[in-house]
Amino acid sequence: MITNLLLSQNNNPNKKRENREAIKIAFFTKKMDLNTVESQNFWPLVNDMEAELKALKNKNSHGRMMLKEKEEISDKELEEIMDAKMEMGKSQIDIKIKYHEKFKEVLPIKKVAKYYEASKEFKKIQTQRKTHHSNPGQRNR
The pLDDT score that the predictor gives to residue 77 is: 85
The pLDDT score that the predictor gives to residue 132 is: 73
* 27 and 54 both lie in a single domain: no
More confident of the two residues 112 and 17? 112
Cα gap 65→131, rounded to integer Å: 25
Number of domains the chain is built from? 2
Alpha helices in 1-141 (DSSP H): 2-7, 13-32, 36-59, 61-69, 75-106, 109-134
Domain housing 3: 1-34+112-141
Cα gap 68→31, rounded to integer Å: 39
* 101 and 45 both lie in a single domain: yes
Please give the DSSP secondary-structure letter assigned to residue 138. Answer: G
Note the pLDDT tens digit of each residue in 59-76.
877 666 666 666 788 889
* 23 and 47 both lie in a single domain: no
Cα gap 27→21, rounded to integer Å: 10
Taking CA atoms, 7 is separated from 14, 16, 129, 139, in Å, by 16, 11, 6, 12
Taking CA atoms, 21 is separated from 18, 47, 100, in Å, by 5, 10, 21
* 75 and 118 both lie in a single domain: no
* 96 and 116 both lie in a single domain: no
* 79 and 136 both lie in a single domain: no
Share of the chain above pLDDT 90, in %: 54
* 136 and 82 both lie in a single domain: no
* 70 and 93 both lie in a single domain: yes
Counted residue by residue, the chain has a size of: 141
* 50 and 82 both lie in a single domain: yes
